[in-house]
């Protein structure tokens, strides 16, 4: 395998992994300190309300439950604001990453347009040799010459599959 092919594969894999990490972070979201504090206060209030189960303490329990419900509404508002802010941030990062991908793919195509990326033995690409060949078979070595466009397509698919499998493993706490 040529160093150019490995370089293209690693570069495309890094871009795919960044895209997958950004997508997982967008889906997962995170809680702020205020939200965690509110969640702890709500659980504490609900525990206290459930402890007050006698008829004489019913009014006190109802008051604690109303207070917990009000705090839950506050938390929902905080989460909504947090989600809106983070979504716009993730959208900006996504656009920057997309522009970066397009630019890098364009530079790679211009760089390797007239030269092959790699050569592989003909038997490895037996049914698809024509699709991956740039200028056919190298007469001197009998190997199939692979161009940049098929190599980018192949490496982007493989790295996309790898990033789907590896990103959740690395991002779990």
Condensed to tens digits (0 to 9), the pLDDT of residues 101-144 reads: 999 999 999 988 888 888 877 777 777 666 666 666 666 777 77
pLDDT band at residue 38 under the 50/70/90 scheme: confident
User: Does residue 99 carry a pLDDT above 90?
Assistant: yes
Q: Mutual orientation of helices 33-51 and 58-112 as an angle, nearest 10°?
A: 150
User: Does residue 165 carry a pLDDT above 70?
Assistant: yes
Q: Which two tokens stand for residue 164?
A: 């789907």
Q: What residue spans define the domains of the chain?
A: 3-171
Q: Looking up tokens 């439950």, which residue turns up?
A: 65
Q: Phi and psi dihedrals of 135, rounded to 5?
A: -130, 35
Contact 110, 147 (CB under 8 A): no
pTM for the complete prediction? 0.61
Q: Which residue has the higher pLDDT, 152 or 142?
A: 152
Q: Which two tokens stand for residue 33?
A: 């300190």
């Amino acid at each position: 395998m040529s160093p150019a092919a490995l370089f293209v594969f690693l570069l495309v894999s890094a871009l795919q992994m960044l895209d997958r990490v950004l997508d997982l972070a967008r889906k997962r979201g995170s809680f702020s300190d205020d939200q965690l504090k509110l969640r702890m206060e709500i659980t504490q209030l609900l525990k206290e309300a459930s402890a007050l189960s006698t008829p004489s303490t019913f009014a006190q329990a109802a008051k604690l439950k109303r207070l917990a419900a009000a705090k839950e509404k506050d938390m929902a508002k905080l989460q909504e604001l947090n989600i809106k802010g983070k979504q716009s941030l993730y959208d900006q990062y996504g656009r920057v990453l997309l522009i970066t991908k397009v630019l890098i793919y364009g530079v790679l195509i211009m760089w390797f347009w007239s030269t092959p990326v790699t050569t592989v033995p003909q038997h490895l690409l037996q049914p698809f040799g024509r699709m991956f060949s740039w200028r056919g078979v190298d007469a001197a070595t009998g190997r199939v010459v692979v161009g940049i466009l098929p190599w980018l397509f192949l490496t982007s698919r493989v790295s996309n599959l790898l990033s789907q499998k590896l990103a959740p493993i690395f991002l779990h706490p």
